[in-house]
Amino acid sequence: MAKKKIDKYVIAVKDFEETAKKITDGKVLMPKEASVYKDMFDGLILSCASLDDLKKFIKKTKFSKKDCMHYWEGLITLDYTLLLFEYDTDDENFVENSCDNGDVKFISRIY
């Protein structure tokens, strides 16, 4: 059995409250059962849905502002909420594979 890793992830979710509810209720077709996504969203550290909070969010992720500011500003203006969360998994590609739709976009894993 593989050793579990706790990594931090940054994803973008369109209309976060509504989309998270649909996913955790099992109303959206996803690769795994809905309870797994509830656990994933429970690991939320910080979210950012406004341009005013973006600098604080970038600082928390420890990314370089010049590398991500323009792209992340664009996502926020398109009604995406940026999420920073920790998730404990033995499947290292789970989060990346779960974000393969129009409402959830994978941005990065933070080691």
Domain hosting residue 11, numbered range? 5-110
- Is 81 or 4 the better-scoring residue by pLDDT? 81
Contact call for residues 13 and 87 (beta carbons, < 8 A):
no
Is a pLDDT exceeding 90 seen at residue 32?
no
* Other Cβ atoms closer than 10 A to 104: 22
Q: Per-residue confidence at 29, pLDDT binned at 50, 70, 90?
A: confident
Which structure tokens are listed for 47? Answer: 């979210």
Query: 100 pLDDT exceeds 80?
Result: no
Going by their DSSP bridges, the two strands 5-14 and 104-110 should be labelled as antiparallel
Q: What is the pTM of this model?
A: 0.89
Q: 2-16, 37-51, 75-89: lowest mean pLDDT where?
A: 2-16
Considering only 28-37, 41-50, 74-83, which range has the smallest mean pLDDT?
A: 28-37
Indicate the number of domains in the chain: 1
Given the DSSP bridges, would you call strands 5-14 and 44-48 parallel, antiparallel or unpaired? unpaired
Q: For residue 97, what pLDDT is reported?
A: 86
pLDDT at 44 over 80: yes
Compute CA distances 110 → 4, 60, 71, 76, 86, whole Å.
Answer: 15, 11, 17, 20, 9
